[in-house]
Amino acid sequence: MKAPYSFTFYTASWYRRSPYWQRTVEAGCTSWDLYNHMLIPTLYDDDEREYWHLVEHVGLWDVAVERQVEITGPDAARFTQLLTCRDLSRCDVLQCKYAPIIAPNGGIVNDPILLRLGEDHFWLSLADSDAMLYALGVQAFAGMDVTIREPDVSPLQVQGPRSRDVIRSLFGDAVAGLRYYRCWGGDLDGIPVVVSRTGWTGEIGYEIYLRDGSRGIELWDRVMRAGEPFEIRAIAPSDQRRLEAGIFNYGNDMTIEDTPFHVTGMERLVELDADFIGKEALERVASRGVDRKLVGVELGGEPFRMWLEDFWDVRRDGEVVGRLVSASHSFRLQQNIGYVWVPIALAEPGTDLEVLSPDGPVAAITAPLPFLDPHKDVPKG
Amino acid sequence: MKAPYSFTFYTASWYRRSPYWQRTVEAGCTSWDLYNHMLIPTLYDDDEREYWHLVEHVGLWDVAVERQVEITGPDAARFTQLLTCRDLSRCDVLQCKYAPIIAPNGGIVNDPILLRLGEDHFWLSLADSDAMLYALGVQAFAGMDVTIREPDVSPLQVQGPRSRDVIRSLFGDAVAGLRYYRCWGGDLDGIPVVVSRTGWTGEIGYEIYLRDGSRGIELWDRVMRAGEPFEIRAIAPSDQRRLEAGIFNYGNDMTIEDTPFHVTGMERLVELDADFIGKEALERVASRGVDRKLVGVELGGEPFRMWLEDFWDVRRDGEVVGRLVSASHSFRLQQNIGYVWVPIALAEPGTDLEVLSPDGPVAAITAPLPFLDPHKDVPKG
């Protein structure tokens, strides 16, 4: 399976650069993606080498593209609750939530990590859509007293089995010991940061949210220095690792056309005790059920490379019934894995399918998510 | 002045392709940009050659990235009015408007061309931001009966002095004779389209909005065939030509941080007789005045190439006072031109400035917009 089509890309002033840009170039980054109107590293030297470094040591990702929507003001808690189907009455200060943002018709606007930094202080750490515009639209007639803005915040992810050592060396035991989906605010010798125990890998991992873009190089260098004993290196986000973990890529795997009930593993995120926009629409979906579903799939054929260049049709009994939206090769499972949209009747694990790759048909079978359970030992490659 | 930094870009399933993609590859496109999560041609062979073809003959642009927000339903007119500072009581059916979308605080959410296709049927033909999310947010509490969606619409631009001949050959005299900012709906031997007399050039030009993505190749081939006698060729949107015309690039020249009163030439678009979101904020700006302004600038030095790789600082009397956000070389004016943000005290045309290029300081002087008046004869190159 060949790598995706590539071409020469010219940078331009309309693509914002991260505060770490210069360091990613120096660290050997060779290709970037566009995400939230910014450049994000997508390949340094080799996706397989980067994958193994992530799962065996520790990797540093420039994810400044995770832009924050900051909501503050007397009505911040009530307003933020309007935006997401998670029940925020059960969200403590310094707690995080995987918090899908829901449109009036139940569609997914974005699937950020929500950070509650204070009683009246929230961040939505965005996937790739301009969800701040959604919040501003809601503000127009919600009649609530809130301030909505994009603060000067640029996250790094420190992910992998040695990430805890790196964070301990930088911030001490308490921060290194953060429970999953908890966060801490403070500074690193005067560099203002928030640190959360979250990430896009299923590995042990942390995010460091830099709160002053002018100090990006300084922070990057501090993290690299602290990580040296643990073999830290700059890598790109790993499509393989996030697929193993059953993590989604908004705008690709699911869009505003889909509700959380359409996506395996997101159903549990709809907490109907809360009052939020789109709740009635989701109640209707819940009672009627969905007609199609995003599910895991294992695929035959040669090892896939990198990521899909385009969606592939999915056939059952010779008829096109859905599409493959993500797929790559799990180097640990030694198996091609991905996500397919299928009619609900074909959503059960173990359903035989055929996907139409540009090189011909490939056998496929639906599978439970995640492919790798983070709470169990994983096979060594 | 060297060309912007470039690297190898890998396509991915999360970047949508236009229905014309295959034809743009065959026509020799060598580089694409990302815009509204889709790929848009940015360079075929040479930006100067493409510019001259545009201003002397006729060019065909794949601008399927101009995604539409469609607003329909009994309250469509009232709802659409909420979104924009233009007075839609003066917008006929089949009329278009350059219609900035305004946030509650007066910021610009997007600067689409609005098309009124029926009494209760509007399209917003978007620049690069997810403004549909803004409309969905407004819908949440506006209490109006509207349907908001992204229809299957993929525009082409046919721009340049011979564009009228091409449109006449395809659609006849009536469509070729459309007045500026008027549109027409119909079909081309069964291919459903809307045609508008609009474009991003200041040249005579049209947009053909394909209403069925499955027929993209067919439409492209029809346009190319009709254009053959007039030397039509596929080109990329021209940053030089749009700068000459005083046209803006949303997300680069101005953002949600700016109001129309901050941008030279957009002031006239605020029509305070209309009732829209952000009106009070804009009234406050109107009465207080703005503290900074986006204005035209002429620059010395060697001819600039393509477009800016990054913003450049702007100095006055040795102090940084603003930034250059767009600049390129007008091949007809034989002059570097661009846009700068400056304090209002320096916004008058004729103000001497200095911009800090990566190669050193460049003399600059503020200038009225547009650089080339489309209603006057333009110098021949």
Q: Which of B78, B82, B130 to mutate to test the interface with A (most CBs of A within 10 A)?
A: B130
State yes or no: pLDDT of A377 exceeds 90: no
Task: Inspect the interface and report whether the beta carbons of A252 and B13 lie closer than 8 Å.
Answer: yes
pLDDT in tens, A226-241: 999 999 999 999 999 9
Structure tokens at B166: 């091409």
pLDDT at position A59 is: 98
Where residue A376 falls among pLDDT bands split at 50, 70, 90? low
Write the DSSP assignment of A132-197 as a string of letters. Answer: HHHHHHHHHHH----EEE--S-EEEEEESTTHHHHHHHHH-HHHHTPPTTBEEEEEETTEEEEEES
More confident residue, A3 or B74: B74
Continuous segment of H or E residues that includes residue A294: strand A292-299
Residues A199, A205: contact at Cβ < 8 Å?
yes
Task: Inspect the interface and report whether the beta carbons of A139 and B104 lie closer than 8 Å.
Answer: yes
pLDDT in tens, A98-154: 999 999 999 999 999 999 999 999 999 999 999 999 999 999 999 999 999 999 999
- The partner residue sitting opposite A141, judged by closest CB among B103, B132, B138, is B138
Q: How far apart are CA B255 and CA A133, in angstroms?
A: 12
Q: How far apart are CA A13 and CA B44, in angstroms?
A: 20
Residues in chain A, overall count: 381
Residues 210-269 of A with CB under 8 A from B: 249, 251-252, 256
CA A111 to chain B, closest CA, distance in angstroms equals: 14
State yes or no: pLDDT of B363 exceeds 90: yes
Residues B45, B24: contact at Cβ < 8 Å?
no
- Region B314-318: mean pLDDT is 96
CA B309 to chain A, closest CA, distance in angstroms equals: 4
Task: Inspect the interface and report whether the beta carbons of A129 and B130 lie closer than 8 Å.
Answer: yes
Q: Which of A8, A13, A128, A252 to mutate to test the interface with B (most CBs of B within 10 A)?
A: A13
Task: Inspect the interface and report whether the beta carbons of A12 and B131 lie closer than 8 Å.
Answer: no
**B108 has a chain A CB within 8 A of its CB:** no
Cα A86 from chain centre: 17
Percent above pLDDT 70 for chain B = 98
pTM of the model: 0.97
Task: Inspect the interface and report whether the beta carbons of A138 and B140 lie closer than 8 Å.
Answer: yes
- Average pLDDT over chain B, rounded to whole? 96
pLDDT at position A375 is: 52
Cα-based distances in Å from B105 to A133, B83, B256, B285: 12, 13, 9, 10
Residues B263, B246: contact at Cβ < 8 Å?
no
Query: How would you label A127-161 residue by residue, b for 16+ Cβ within 10 Å and e otherwise?
Result: bbbbbbbbbbbbbbbbebebebbbeebbbbbbbbe
Continuous segment of H or E residues that includes residue B281: helix B279-288
**B135 has a chain A CB within 8 A of its CB:** yes
Task: Inspect the interface and report whether the beta carbons of B306 and A134 lie closer than 8 Å.
Answer: no
- Average pLDDT over chain A, rounded to whole? 96
State yes or no: pLDDT of B271 exceeds 80: yes
pLDDT at position B3 is: 84
| Strand, coil or helix: A352 | strand
Continuous segment of H or E residues that includes residue B41: strand B38-43
Q: Which of B5, B9, B146, B275 to mutate to test the interface with A (most CBs of A within 10 A)?
A: B9
pLDDT in tens, B192-212: 999 999 999 999 999 999 999
- The partner residue sitting opposite B9, judged by closest CB among A7, A105, A277, is A7
Structure tokens at B110: 């997007």
Task: Inspect the interface and report whether the beta carbons of B12 and A4 lie closer than 8 Å.
Answer: yes
ipTM: 0.97
State yes or no: pLDDT of A380 exceeds 70: no
Bridge partners (DSSP) listed for residue B294: B263, B341
pLDDT at position A374 is: 64
Chain B positions touching A70 (Cβ under 8 A) are: none
Chain A positions touching B277 (Cβ under 8 A) are: 140
pLDDT at position A379 is: 43
pLDDT at position A373 is: 76
Q: How far apart are CA A104 and CA A102, in angstroms?
A: 7
Cα-based distances in Å from A88 to A99, A294, B111, B285: 9, 26, 35, 36
Task: Inspect the interface and report whether the beta carbons of A309 and B12 lie closer than 8 Å.
Answer: yes
| Strand, coil or helix: A217 | helix
State yes or no: pLDDT of A378 exceeds 70: no
pLDDT at position A2 is: 80
Chain A positions touching B5 (Cβ under 8 A) are: 10-11
Chain A positions touching B8 (Cβ under 8 A) are: 6-9, 30-31
pLDDT in tens, A150-189: 999 999 999 999 999 999 999 999 999 999 999 999 999 9
**B152 has a chain A CB within 8 A of its CB:** no
Residues 29-58 of B with CB under 8 A from A: 30-34, 37, 42-43
Chains A & B: contacts with CB separation below 8 Å: 175
Structure tokens at B248: 């803006």
Task: Inspect the interface and report whether the beta carbons of A10 and B130 lie closer than 8 Å.
Answer: no
CA A138 to chain B, closest CA, distance in angstroms equals: 4
Percent above pLDDT 90 for chain A = 96
pLDDT at position B375 is: 52
